[in-house]
């Protein structure tokens, strides 16, 4: 690791000002959810009228962002549900089915081609994307609905699409204001104006300053959040960060050398090489008490304790599934940003 983490940067006004282009969008996440929900209200109401009395044979979540929809919908959807993140559509998808897509950027040619294919097959199509985008132009047909999404924010776009599916009985209850409130609470707690003694995201960045983050979430949504948080940490720090299922992360923790209380983290190894950072476990806890989740957490924390590895926990145990996901994701992204700031990296 060539960069040295300096925790004083986390409360340094100049350093925080330089990172404003990253921190400000995190603070505005709740506002984006509210704005997208309001601006899509008319199109959403029209789509509800079109779909509510004609339950599809199956729901196909298409496109690169389909995994988030799968994480929310799969446990609740009353008809067969398929996530199809690759190009095109399943061969069987047709006029009896509903194709939904998140395309917050709106300019991906592959997503546009998939939407055009769904329209050609006569499927019901619902797409969250900018209304003047490439994808929107391919979603023209009497069974196609574009839910306007102007912020290019995946989560805000997902909230609008999931609100529609909730209203037609194809998904769990989705309340945009509750998701927005969760993000606002994270923004207050993790604000750059709160010093590191009371700021959980800054404290988490310090905890992982010299460690390899190993991020785990037990439920389907928490696992999705873990993958997004690890991506944010890699992007912000330029270092490795892992996320995965418990059985994949267990060997990483088990292989770590036990920590030596007298070890100097700045000393070189016997061969002159800088020592590799030890893994540290970050648990994303959304309150799930499913037996598999409880057992996965027990195994991971147990092996981390045996190896004397650091264990940190982010918690979001109240609210709807999507609100808890948003809270975990927001906290993790703030921590990733502060990790990059502490390392003195340019984050944009």
pLDDT, tens digit, 9 for 90 and up, residues 42-94: 999 999 988 887 889 999 999 988 999 999 998 899 999 999 998 899 999 99
To the nearest whole percent, how much of the chain has pLDDT over 90?
84
Q: Do domains 7-19+192-342 and 31-174 have the same CATH topology?
A: yes
User: What integer pLDDT is reported at residue 247 of this predicted model?
Assistant: 95
Residue 270 scores a pLDDT above 70? no
Residue 265 scores a pLDDT above 70? no
Helix axis angle for 291-306 and 246-254, nearest 10°, is: 10
Chain centroid, CA 69 distance in Å: 11
Confirm if 129 and 136 have CB atoms less than 8 A apart. Answer: yes
User: What integer pLDDT is reported at residue 261 of this predicted model?
Assistant: 59
Interatomic CA distance for residues 232 and 206, integer angstroms: 16
User: What integer pLDDT is reported at residue 1 of this predicted model?
Assistant: 46
Residue 160 scores a pLDDT above 90? yes
Would you call 128 helix, strand, or coil by DSSP?
A: strand
Residue 2 scores a pLDDT above 80? no
Domain ranges of the chain: 7-19+192-342, 31-174
**In the structure encoding, which two tokens stand for residue 52, read together?**
């509510």
User: What integer pLDDT is reported at residue 348 of this predicted model?
Assistant: 59
**311-333 pLDDT tens trace:** 999 999 788 999 999 999 999 99
Superfamily (CATH) of domain 7-19+192-342: Glucose-6-phosphate isomerase like protein; domain 1 (3.40.50.10490)
Superfamily (CATH) of domain 31-174: Glucose-6-phosphate isomerase like protein; domain 1 (3.40.50.10490)
User: What integer pLDDT is reported at residue 262 of this predicted model?
Assistant: 60
Q: Model-level pTM greater than 0.85?
A: yes
| Range 215-227 average pLDDT | 96
| CA-closest candidate to residue 101, choices 77, 78, 123, 132 | 123
Q: Which residues contact 139 (CB under 8 A, 6 or more apart)?
A: 115, 116, 119, 125, 127, 129, 145, 146
């Amino acid at each position: 690791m060539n960069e040295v983490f300096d925790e004083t940067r986390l409360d340094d006004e100049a350093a925080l000002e330089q990172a404003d282009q990253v921190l400000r969008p995190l603070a505005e996440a709740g506002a984006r959810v509210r704005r997208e929900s309001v601006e899509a209200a008319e199109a959403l109401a029209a789509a509800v009228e079109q779909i509510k009395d004609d339950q599809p044979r199956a729901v196909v979540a298409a496109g690169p962002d389909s995994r988030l929809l799968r994480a929310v919908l799969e446990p609740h959807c009353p008809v067969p549900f398929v996530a199809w993140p690759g190009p095109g559509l399943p061969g069987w998808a047709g006029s009896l089915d509903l194709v939904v897509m998140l395309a917050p950027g709106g300019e991906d040619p592959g997503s546009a081609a998939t939407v055009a294919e769904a329209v050609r097959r006569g499927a019901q199509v619902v797409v969250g994307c900018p209304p003047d985008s490439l994808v929107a132009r391919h979603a023209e047909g009497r069974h196609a609905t574009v839910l306007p999404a102007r912020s290019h924010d995946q989560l805000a776009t997902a909230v609008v699409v999931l609100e529609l599916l909730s209203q037609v009985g194809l998904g769990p209850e989705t309340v945009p204001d509750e998701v927005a409130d969760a993000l606002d609470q994270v923004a207050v707690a993790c604000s750059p104006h709160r010093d590191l003694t009371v700021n959980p995201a800054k404290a988490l960045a310090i905890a992982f300053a010299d460690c390899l983050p190993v991020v785990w979430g037990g439920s389907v949504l928490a696992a999705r959040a873990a993958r997004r948080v690890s991506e944010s940490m890699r992007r912000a720090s330029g270092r490795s960060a892992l996320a995965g299922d418990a059985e994949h992360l267990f060997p990483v923790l088990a292989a770590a050398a036990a920590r030596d209380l007298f070890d100097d983290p700045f000393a070189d190894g016997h061969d002159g090489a800088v020592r590799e950072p030890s893994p540290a476990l970050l648990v994303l806890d959304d309150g799930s008490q499913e037996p598999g989740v409880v057992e996965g957490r027990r195994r991971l924390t147990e092996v981390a304790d045996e190896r004397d590895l650091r264990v940190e926990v982010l918690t979001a145990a109240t609210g709807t599934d999507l609100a808890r996901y948003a809270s975990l994701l927001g906290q993790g992204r703030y921590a990733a940003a502060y990790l990059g700031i502490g390392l003195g990296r340019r984050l944009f």
